[in-house]
Structure 1
Amino acid sequence: MQKNRWIELLLLCICLLRFASMAAAAAAALGRSGELGEEKNFEGSSDLVDLQYHMGPVLASPVNVYIIWYGRWNQNQQATIRDFIYSLSAPPSSASYPSVADWWRTVRLYTDQTGSNITGNFVLSGEFYDYKYSHGGYLSRLDIQSVIKNSVAASNPHALPLNPHDGLYLVLTSADVRVQDFCRAVCGFHYFTFPTIVGVTVPYAWVGYSGTQCPGMCAYPFAWPKYSGSTNGGHGIMKPPNGDVGAEGMISVIAHELAEVSSNPLVNAWYAGDDPTAPTEIADLCLGVYGSGAGGGYVGAVSKDAWGSGYNLNGAKGRKYLVQWVWNPVSRRCYGPNALD
C-alpha cells in the first residue's frame, strides 16, 4: 500500500509539471505578454520541431467514449458536443468536404511501434449526468479522477461501465463550476487515471465551459481576450456557427485533447522535447491555427456563412465547427483539410 502511494505521488508530480508546461504554451499562443501580434505558431513547414515517438501506445483500437456531464447543462449545448463526437467517425455521405472526419485523418497518420494507426472509430457509448455536483462547485485537477470514479460506482443506478480496455472518459464541467487553473492556465487537459483512485488505468480528458468564465481565452476567436483592447463585436470577432460561444470554444478544446490523448495516452508516445514530464504534443504545436496563413492573432483563412459565423469543418447533421489544426507528421507542418495549399 505504501509503495502504491509513493507511485501515485510521483505520477501526480509528473502531472503537475506537465500542466505547467501546457500553461506556458497556451500563454505564448494567446499572446499573454499583452500583444496578440506576438503569437507564434508553426503553420509553415519547420525542421525545428523535434516531434518524436517514445515507444508508448496510441489509441489504435476503436474507442468507446463516455461523457460525464458535471453540473447543469442545456440540451442545445449537449447536442452540439454530441454531434461533434459523432462527426469524428461519421460516414463520408453525412458531411461535405472538409469534414470533421477529414480533419481526424491527420491525427490518424500517427502510429505505434507495430505500425498500427490511431483509430478512426469513436462511439459515444454512454453518458452520465452529475447534476448534483458530487464533488462540489470547485474541482482540483485530482478531483476530476474522483468524478470519474463516482460515475462508474456500482452503487450508482445509472453508472457508466468501467472500461480499461477501450474506454475514454470525457469530463465536461458546466459554466458555474470552477476547476483548478481553468482560465488562468488551461482550458482543458488529458491524462490517465490512477488505480488507487479509479481502480484501473484509463485515459481521460477534461474540458470546461468557458462562455461566462473566460471566453476570451478559451472560446477565441468567438470572443477577444480582455488584454487585447478589443471587445465583443469589435473587428475580427466571429459569430459561433452553432449559436453558443462557450460550447463552440469547448469543441475546439475537445478536439485538441482528443488528438493528444489518442497520440499520447500514457504520456510516453508522441511528443516533442526531451522531458517526458513536460511534453509538447501534436495539438500544442498548432495553438491558434485554424487555416492557411495563421499567425499574429489571425486564425487563418476560414469560411463564414451568411450570418458571419466562422467555421472550417462540416459536421454531421448539418452542423459546422471551427477546430484548430494539428501537426502533420508527414509534411511536418500544422495542417487541416481546409488548407489552401
Structure 2
Amino acid sequence: MQNQKLLPSSYFFFLLICLFHVSSSLMQFKQAENYEGSSDLVELEYHMGPVLASSPINLYIIWYGHWKPTQQATIRDFIYSISSSSSSSSSSSSSPSYPSVADWWKTVRLYTDQTGSNITGNIVLSGELYDFSYSHGTHLSRLDIQSIIKTAVTSYPTPLPLNPHNGLYLVLTSYDVQVQDFCRAVCGFHYFTFPTIVGVTVPYAWVGYSGAQCPGMCAYPFAWPKDSPPSRNGGHDVMGSPNGDVGVDGMISVIAHELAEVSSNPLVNAWYAGDDPTAPTEIADLCLGVYGSGGGGGYVGKVYKDSWGNGFNVNGVKGRRFMLQWVWNPLKRRCFGPNALD
C-alpha cells in the first residue's frame, strides 16, 4: 500500500458497525448478462483512496483446515505466476507462454492512486501458516476470518509477520469448513482488518474450497448449478478443469477475483462503481462469468482447450494452465483478458 495517512481507528470502529461490507465473489454466471460488459451501463469511479502500489506486495497465506499437498502446490504456482512474465517463445522453460497470468494481471495494473502510481506487478509469497487444528472451529462468521489472522500473527513459535506496510493476508478454508454466507451468497470476499481485533489495519481476502460443498456455484465453469438453464449451445456440458481438481481450479479464479479487487480497493474507498460504499461494484464484479471473447449470459466465451479437452485461458509457471475470470479494463471500458480475440 502507498505510504498514505490512514483513517483514525475510531473511523474503522464506525465502519465495523455501519459499513461491514465485503466484496463478494458471486460466481453466479447468470449475472453476466451484458456480453463482455457495457460501457454504457458502467460508471466506475475513483474515490481517492489508496491502491496496493508499493512493491512488492508481501502475500501471506493461512491454510485453515486440512489441505492436500497437491492442492497447495497448484495454488502456490498460481501466486508465483502473477509476477512471472510471458516468454516470446513457448519453448522457453523459465517463463510461461503468452497469454500468461502476468499478462492477465496487467489489466489490474492499469488502476492508479491519486499520485498516479499503478498497482504493483510484483506479488511475493512471503509466508505461510498451517492452521491444521481449526483454531476457531469449523463454523466461521465473516468476522472470525480476522480472528484467524490474529491467531496466525501471534502463534508460537513461528508466527506470520504482522506487516501493515505492504502485507496482504489470504485465508483459505478447507473442504470441511463452513463460512457465513459461503455457497449461499459468496465464494470469497476481501476487506481490511480492524485494529481492535488484529492490532493494525491490513488488507485481507478469504476464499473457501468449494469442491465438496458447492462446486456448481463456486467452481463454474467446471461445474454447473443443478437448476441452471441450458448453455448457449443448448446443453449442460461441464468443462474439464486444467489441473485436475474442480474445487481448486474454481477456487483459483475466485482468488484472482479477490486479489484484483483488494489491490484496487483495499480500504473500500478507491475504485468501484455505484454510489453506496457499503455495496461497491468492483473491477471483477463487473465481469462475473466472463472468461473469453463473447462471454456472458451463461457462456464463458472463447477459451482454449488442452489435449484432454480441459478448459483454460492463461498459462502459468511449471507448465500450469488456469481459467481466470476477466476484469474491467478502464481504458477499453469493457471486460478484458489477454486471451481476447480483439
TM-score, normalisation: structure 1 = 0.91
Q: How does 1:1-341 map to 2 (within 5 A)?
A: 7-8=12-13, 10-16=15-21, 18=22, 22=24, 26=26, 29-31=28-30, 39-41=32-34, 43-61=36-54, 62-93=56-87, 94-153=95-154, 155-228=155-228, 235-341=236-342
Code of the aligned partner of 2:66: R
Match of 1:35 in 2: none
Whole-angstrom CA distance in 2 between matches of 1:103 and 1:143: 32
2 CA distance for matches of 1:281 and 1:229?
26
Other-structure match for 2:5: none
C-alpha contact 1:42 1:333 (8 A) present in aligned 2: no
* 1:156 Cα offset (Å): 1.5
Please give the alpha-carbon distance, in whole angstroms, between the structure 2 residues aligned to 1:77 and 1:278: 32
Question: 1:222-280: per-residue Cα shift (whole Å, max 9, x none)?
Answer: 001011267xxx74211110000000011000000000000000000000001111100
AA partner of residue 111 (structure 1): T
Runs of 4+ in 1 over 4 A off after TM superposition: 3-7
SS at match of 1:135: coil
Match of 1:34 in 2: none
Contact 1:47 1:332 in 2 (8 A): no
Q: Relative to structure 2, which stretch is displaced further, 244-253 or 7-16?
A: 7-16
> What letter matches 1:14 in structure 2?
L
SS in 2 for 1:145: helix
Deviation at 1:11, TM superposition (A): 2.1
What is the identity percentage for the equivalent residue pairs of Structure 1 and Structure 2? 76
Report the CA distance shift for 1:55/1:182 in structure 2 as closer, same or farther (over 3 A): same
One-letter amino acid matched to 1:80? T
Query: What is the alpha-carbon distance in structure 2 between the residues aligned to residue 127 and residue 6 of structure 1?
Result: 31
Name the CA distance, whole Å, in 2 between partners of 1:73 and 1:221: 23
- 1:45, 1:331 within 8 Å by CA — same for their partners in 2? no
Instruction: Quote the offset at 1:326 in angstroms.
Output: 0.2
8 Å CA contact 2:29, 2:297 repeated in 1: no
Deviation at 1:41, TM superposition (A): 3.4
Question: Cα offset for 1:306?
Answer: 1.2
User: 1:295: Cα distance to partner?
Assistant: 1.8
Write 1 or 2 for the structure with the bigger share of helix. 1
Question: Distance between the aligned counterparts of 1:290 and 1:223, measured in 2?
Answer: 15
- Deviation, 1:10, is 3.5
**Alpha-carbon distance, 1:91 to partner:** 3.2
Structure 2: how far apart are the matches of 1:309 and 1:288? 17
Show structure 1 runs of 5+ residues with no match.
32-37
C-alpha distance in 2, partners of 1:7/1:245? 37
CA shift for structure 1 position 40: 1.3
* Alpha carbons of structure 1 residues 115 and 219: separation in structure 2 relative to 1, 3 Å: same
Secondary structure in 2 aligned to 1:228?
A: coil
Whichever residue aligns with residue 65 of structure 2, its letter is G
Cα distance change, pair 240–157 in 1 and its aligned pair in 2 (3 A)? same
- Please report the RMSD computed on the Cα atoms of aligned residues, expressed in angstroms: 1.9
Per the alignment, in what secondary structure is the counterpart of residue 191 of structure 2? strand
Q: How many residues are matched? A: 324
User: Aligned partners of 1:314, 1:7: CA distance in 2, in Å?
Assistant: 39
Q: Distance in 2 between matches of 1:242 and 1:41?
A: 29
CA distance in 2, matches of 1:166, 1:272: 25
CA contact (8 A) 1:128 1:160 kept: yes
